[in-house]
Structure 1
Amino acid sequence: MKKPVLVALIVLLVGAGIVAANSLFLVAQTQQAVVFQFGQYVRTIQEPGLQVKLPLIQNVIFYDRRVLELNPPAEQVILADQKRLVVDTYLRYRIADPLRFYQAVTNETQAASRLSDIVISALRRVLGNSTLAELLSPARARLMQEMKVAVDREARELGISVTDMRIRRADLPEETSQAIFARIRSEREREAREFRAQGQELAQQIRARADRERTVLLAEAQKRAQELRGDGDAQSIRIYASAFDADPSFFDFYRSLQAYRKALADGTTTLVLSPDGDFFRYFDHKEAASSR
């Protein structure tokens, strides 16, 4: 074979290889593709496998066919009852129409920006007609569905289908939270003061009742003691009277002995009395002198 012919054959084979390489492309399991020719739409491929295109004049743009997730920035909304909430949401979506997606937003970065705006708009619209009580009640599921439907309706214009939308967190604004915490703390301190005051009042009532009962008990005890002393004195008088009636001279003698005992009880008392006085009338001085 002549050399020029061999070179031509090699060039032809290389060219055919290049053409074949540019004519074939693979759509993966997680991908979908849109084929354009000179900027004009040709077809959409949503099934995986090896595909063919015209080399050089057709180009292919690939998009993810899996469910994607978006976390829009937290947004402060005003509810129907004029309460403010900072709402944090997340969104799950998929590219349902690759051509419309390409025409509307071109890529996922632009899609995320547009979807975030749509989510914020739906949040303000739906929650703006709802109260905090509804948001904290089972009605929250209905509100979530209403927002999902609203976002999906607008996202369809971008070639996007929303599969799920949830409120991840709803908090009070920082300044509102601090004010509420301060009010709660003040309320708890007021309740604590009231409880302490009630406790002190109850303690005073208990002490006053105990003092009254003690006073009554002491008065009753004193009354009983006086009654017992009176009974004892009366009985003593009766005994003395009986003894006096039985033997007046002995009773007089006994009373004198009691007087001696009291007068000389401490052993240091000095009495200056006449021996002939009544105090010593029961001492027989003459018999004492004769005995000495």
Structure 2
Amino acid sequence: MNGSTLRTGLLILVGLIAIVLYSSVFIVQQTQYALVLRFGAVQSAISEPGLKFKLPLVDNVTYFEKRVLDLDLPVQTLLSADRQNLEVDAFTRYRIVDPLRFYQAVGNIALANQRLQSFTNSAMRNVLAGASRDAIVRTERAALMERIQEDVNRQARNLGIEMIDVRLTRVDLPAANSQAVYQRMRTEREREAADIRANGQQQAQTIRARAEREATVIRAEANRTAEELRGKGDADRNRILAEAFTLDPDFFSFYRSMQAYEAGLKAGDTRLVLSPDSEFFRYFNDPAGRGNGGGTAARPAPAPVPAQPAPAQ
């Protein structure tokens, strides 16, 4: 009887010891912070991973994430500096750097997200209200996001939070204004295109007129050079002919008469009406070209005058 009671007591004692040991030991992961609370008061903040100890049945442990957390913000409508309504969609990324301050300020992730959403919306309204639509959409978007992040980060430090990034994922016009803005942009682009085409046509006319003027000058110079060369060639030709006539007048007269025969007796519809004893045929009657018993030939045979073409048969 006593032995059974003793065994039961030992088993109860071992169970109590196991419960006490189990409740006094906890594990902190590499991705966690841990706060040891005693009746709601913070006893210690643990950031290093490993096996840790606490007072059993008295201390409680609260865990917080070390990893980067995401917060998607709802779409909100903002007014830019040029009085344009814009629908802005954004998200933030942050992490807890001071678990004690985070616990004292907000206590949990859900409340921290609400506070960060308020900070971010307020910062976006203040920063984007001083920028134009083109600056927000295209030219200064990165700089504006950095300003928003700095503003939110300055407020989030009081919560033990560090802002990693603030991004504007979408910046659009409201659906009601999109068509009107598109039409205005199209009209502006058409006007710019018309101006560019007009400038191009003006430049083309200028280039064409300059080219035509230069071509006229070149043709005039070429014609002048050609006339000069042609005049020089005629002068040389006349000089050569004069020298040839001086050296042998009879041969020169014969040569010119042969040229006249070649030019006047070509095949064609032209008919010549000449007398048989015409001066034109003197080399046919006399090889010396003396004509009908006359003296030596003094000049070459004249070129015949062509008669009118015979009517068609």
Q: TM tier, shorter chain?
A: 0.5 to 0.7
Q: Deviations over 1:218-256 (max 9, x none)?
A: xxxxxxxxxxxxxxxxxxxxxxxxxxxxxxxxxxxxxxx
Q: 1:189 to 1:70 in 2, by over 3 A?
A: same
| Alpha-carbon shift at residue 90 of structure 1 (Å) | 1.3
SS at match of 2:57: coil
1:148 and 2:111 correspond: no
Residue 68 of structure 1 is matched in structure 2 by: 69
SS at match of 1:163: strand
| Alpha-carbon shift at residue 185 of structure 1 (Å) | 6.0
SS at match of 1:2: helix
Residue 127 of structure 2 is matched in structure 1 by: 126
Q: What amino acid maps onto 1:47 in structure 2?
A: E
Q: Is the 8 A contact 2:137 2:171 kept in 1?
A: no
Deviation larger for 28-37 or 130-139: 130-139
Residue 30 of structure 2 is matched in structure 1 by: 29
Q: What amino acid maps onto 1:50 in structure 2?
A: L
Q: Hey, what's the Cα distance between the residues in 2 that align with 1:188 and 1:31?
A: 56
Q: Hey, what's the Cα distance between the residues in 2 that align with 1:146 and 1:187?
A: 32
| Alpha-carbon shift at residue 105 of structure 1 (Å) | 1.9
| Alpha-carbon shift at residue 189 of structure 1 (Å) | 9.2
| Alpha-carbon shift at residue 190 of structure 1 (Å) | 9.6
Q: Hey, what's the Cα distance between the residues in 1 that align with 2:29 and 2:115?
A: 27
SS at match of 2:112: helix
1:114 and 2:115 correspond: yes
Residue 247 of structure 2 is matched in structure 1 by: none
Q: 1:19 to 1:137 in 2, by over 3 A?
A: same
| Alpha-carbon shift at residue 68 of structure 1 (Å) | 0.7
Residue 160 of structure 1 is matched in structure 2 by: 161
Q: Is the 8 A contact 2:145 2:167 kept in 1?
A: yes
Q: Hey, what's the Cα distance between the residues in 2 that align with 1:82 and 1:191?
A: 24
Residue 97 of structure 1 is matched in structure 2 by: 98
Q: 1:93 to 1:189 in 2, by over 3 A?
A: closer
Q: What amino acid maps onto 1:79 in structure 2?
A: S
Q: Deviations over 1:87-136 (max 9, x none)?
A: 11111100111122222222211211111111100000111112223324
Q: 1:147 to 1:186 in 2, by over 3 A?
A: closer
SS at match of 2:102: helix
Residue 171 of structure 2 is matched in structure 1 by: 170
Instruction: Give the gaps of 5 or more residues in structure 1.
Output: 196-292
Deviation larger for 125-134 or 90-99: 125-134
Q: 1:102 to 1:14 in 2, by over 3 A?
A: same
| Alpha-carbon shift at residue 137 of structure 1 (Å) | 4.5
Q: Deviations over 1:53-78 (max 9, x none)?
A: 10111001111110011111122111
| Alpha-carbon shift at residue 180 of structure 1 (Å) | 1.5
Q: Deviations over 1:123-163 (max 9, x none)?
A: 00111112223324553222211111100111111221101
Q: Hey, what's the Cα distance between the residues in 2 that align with 1:175 and 1:138?
A: 24
Q: Hey, what's the Cα distance between the residues in 1 that align with 2:144 and 2:14?
A: 64
Instruction: Give the gaps of 5 or more residues in structure 2.
Output: 198-313
Q: What amino acid maps onto 1:72 in structure 2?
A: L
Q: Deviations over 1:176-227 (max 9, x none)?
A: 11222344567789999xx9xxxxxxxxxxxxxxxxxxxxxxxxxxxxxxxx
Residue 140 of structure 2 is matched in structure 1 by: 139
- For 1:1-292, what aligned pairs fall within 5 Å after superposition? 2-184=3-185
Q: Hey, what's the Cα distance between the residues in 2 that align with 1:60 and 1:71?
A: 29
Identity %: 44
Q: 1:79 to 1:190 in 2, by over 3 A?
A: closer
SS at match of 1:56: coil
Q: What amino acid maps onto 2:159 in structure 1?
A: L
Q: What amino acid maps onto 1:6 in structure 2?
A: R
Number of residue pairs matched?
Answer: 211
Q: What amino acid maps onto 1:113 in structure 2?
A: Q
TM-score (norm 2): 0.58
Q: Hey, what's the Cα distance between the residues in 2 that align with 1:175 and 1:51?
A: 60
TM-score (norm 1): 0.62
Q: Deviations over 1:8-59 (max 9, x none)?
A: 1111110000000000011112111111001111111111111111011100
Q: What amino acid maps onto 1:174 in structure 2?
A: A
Q: Hey, what's the Cα distance between the residues in 1 that align with 2:49 and 2:19?
A: 23
Q: Hey, what's the Cα distance between the residues in 2 that align with 1:118 and 1:187?
A: 38
